[in-house]
């Protein structure tokens, strides 16, 4: 390995920033030279720039500004933009996060250029190939040189796909590191006051293609959310993706339904912390509500994060069953996790990942015993 090797992190969307921050801090503490490529996949300032500030991330060395578009057009822009940056900086390792199109594009670029890669959040599977994210996960894990798993079931998924176990490290969940670091700042009251919320409320986040791209599915989902709003005021920080489609389906301001712009990391989690209930189709929110002890109803037929159901506060629901499920959750009150909290979700995943990367950069042979020592 060459002297003073460079590690680049490719980030494109809110969950990437949250997962990367603890890893970036951990590598900085070890003196590793690094930089961030911001692809601009989330093109709203409140979906990206505010997160850099809230999470203490350094300024990117490049911002591709790819914005929105179809999967093909967005991925094509990402491929060409990322190739130029990787060729310019010649990193020793590129770290990617989660399952967004920026992650897929970075993995493909690096595979073609023979640049080693690491995937944080490897091995998650919904087993639903109709989800674009599922395709991104499978391809990313197949091409990565280091795979960082956040939960035990991910290990078996990777083994079943023939991934060399020497590449795989169970490290815990860096998203939980960020949550733990933010906890002292998570005060619901100022956000509630600013948004004009008085009394109990629910939070809803909706953006998955299966829920918002098809007009009929969007109408069914909106009707279900309105059923929840008949029971408790619902605040919807509306993701840019699908905003127009959901508005056309009736998701607009009305009594007991408040549509707001996307919130920064601390503001959003503060709002969630004070909520009686969260309705979502997001992956990361399932994890955050588990740790905050807030009931979560996920409007999806499956989840790549089953540990939030078996060990957390998450339940899968259909649009048709959402109002009744919300009624039960509201009657039951504050949620308690279904079992013990997931292993290694202890706020130390970032340093674990950093130690593995630092050892890899130095060429250390990570035997099973060495992996254990790095925890």
Which residues are registered as beta bridge partners of 148? Answer: 120, 169
The token pair that represents 36 in the structure block: 């961030």
Residue 2 lies in a domain: no
By three-state DSSP, how is residue 216 classified?
helix
Closest by CA to 112, choosing from 94, 125, 131, is 94
Whether 62 is covered by a domain: the verdict is yes
For the chain, first and last CA: distance in Å?
24
Per the structure, how many domains does the chain have?
2
Position 158 scores a pLDDT of 98
pLDDT of residue 2: 63
Q: Are residues 273 and 125 in the same domain?
A: no
Cα 42 to the center of its chain, rounded Å: 13
Looking at the fold, whether 354 and 321 belong to one and the same domain comes out as no
* The one catalytic residue among 71, 119, 157, 207: 207
Q: Are residues 322 and 358 in the same domain?
A: no
328 belongs to a structural domain = yes
Task: Dump pLDDT digits (tens) for 231-270.
Answer: 999 999 987 767 888 999 999 999 999 999 989 999 999 9
Q: Is residue 178 part of a domain?
A: no
244 and 123 share a domain?
no
Query: Which helix (H) or strand (E) element contains residue 257?
Result: strand 257-260
Across the chain, what does the average pLDDT equal? 93
The reply to whether 206 falls in a domain is: yes
pLDDT at 309: 94
Give residue 336's pLDDT: 73
Closest CA to 341 of 301, 292, 273, 270: 292
Q: Same structural domain for residues 54 and 147?
A: yes
- In sign, the C-alpha dihedral spanning 326, 328, 332, 336 is negative
11-34 per-position pLDDT tens digit: 998 899 999 999 999 999 999 999
Q: Which residues of the chain have pLDDT under 50?
A: 367-371, 373-374
Q: Which domain holds residue 285?
A: 187-332
Q: Does residue 340 lie in a domain region?
A: no
* Same-domain check for residues 255 and 280: yes
135 lies in the same domain as 47: yes
User: Which residues have a Cβ under 8 Å from the Cβ of 235 and sit 6 or more positions away?
Assistant: 195, 197, 201, 202, 203, 204, 258, 260, 271, 275
pLDDT given at position 366 = 53
- CA dist 225 and 229 (Å) reads 6
How far is it, in rounded angstroms, from Cα 341 to Cα 312?
A: 7
- The reply to whether 308 and 357 lie within a common domain is no
Which ranges constitute the DSSP H helices of the chain?
Answer: 14-29, 49-55, 71-89, 101-113, 132-143, 152-160, 174-182, 188-195, 209-212, 215-229, 243-248, 265-273, 283-292, 307-310, 322-332, 349-361, 368-374
Within-domain flag for 339: no
- Percent with pLDDT over 70 in the chain: 94
Q: Are residues 231 and 159 in the same domain?
A: no
**Does 356 share its domain with 318?**
no
Task: Verify whether residue 207 is a known catalytic residue.
Answer: yes
- Tell whether 150 and 229 lie within a shared domain: no
CATH code of the domain containing 316: 3.40.50.2000
Q: What is the pTM of this model?
A: 0.93
Return d(Cα 236, Cα 275) in angstroms, integer: 12
Quick check: is 374 in a domain? Answer: no
Q: Is 355 found in the same domain as 325?
A: no
Per-residue pLDDT at 133: 94
pLDDT in tens, 108-135: 999 999 999 999 999 999 999 999 999 9
What string of DSSP letters covers 219-246?
HHHHHHHHHHHTTS-EEEE--STTHHHH
């Amino acid at each position: 390995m060459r002297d003073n090797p460079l590690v680049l992190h490719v980030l494109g969307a809110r969950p990437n920033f949250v997962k990367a921050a603890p890893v970036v801090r951990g590598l900085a503490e070890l003196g590793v030279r690094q930089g961030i490529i911001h692809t601009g996949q989330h093109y709203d300032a409140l979906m990206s720039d505010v997160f850099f500030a809230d999470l203490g991330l350094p300024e990117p060395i490049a911002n591709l500004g790819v914005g929105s578009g179809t999967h093909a057009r967005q991925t094509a822009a990402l491929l060409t933009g990322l190739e130029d940056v990787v060729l310019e900086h010649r990193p020793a390792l590129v770290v990617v996060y989660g399952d967004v199109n920026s992650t897929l594009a970075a993995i493909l670029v690096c595979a073609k250029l023979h640049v080693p890669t690491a995937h944080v959040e490897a091995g998650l599977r919904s087993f639903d190939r109709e989800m674009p994210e599922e395709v991104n996960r499978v391809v990313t894990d197949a091409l990565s040189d280091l795979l960082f798993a956040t939960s035990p079931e991910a290990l078996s998924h990777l083994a079943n796909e023939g991934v060399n176990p020497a590449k795989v490290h169970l490290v815990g969940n860096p998203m939980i590191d960020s949550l733990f670091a933010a906890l002292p700042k998570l005060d619901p009251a100022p956000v509630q006051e600013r948004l004009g919320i008085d009394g109990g409320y629910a939070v809803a986040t909706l953006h998955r293609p299966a829920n918002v791209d098809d007009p009929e599915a969007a109408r069914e989902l909106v009707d279900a959310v309105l059923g929840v709003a008949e029971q408790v005021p619902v605040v919807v920080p509306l993701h840019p993706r699908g905003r127009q489609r959901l508005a056309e389906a009736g998701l607009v301001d009305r009594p007991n339904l408040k549509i707001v712009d996307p919130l920064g990391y601390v503001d959003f989690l503060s709002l969630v912390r004070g909520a009686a209930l969260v309705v979502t189709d997001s992956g990361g929110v399932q994890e955050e509500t588990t740790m905050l002890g807030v009931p979560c109803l996920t409007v999806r037929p499956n989840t790549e994060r089953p540990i939030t159901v078996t060990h957390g506060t998450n339940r899968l629901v259909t649009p048709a069953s959402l109002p009744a499920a919300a009624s039960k959750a509201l009657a039951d009150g504050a949620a308690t996790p279904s079992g013990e909290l997931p292993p290694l979700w202890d706020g130390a995943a970032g340093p674990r990942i950093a130690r593995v990367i630092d050892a890899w950069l130095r060429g250390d042979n990570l035997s099973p015993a060495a992996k254990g020592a790095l925890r």
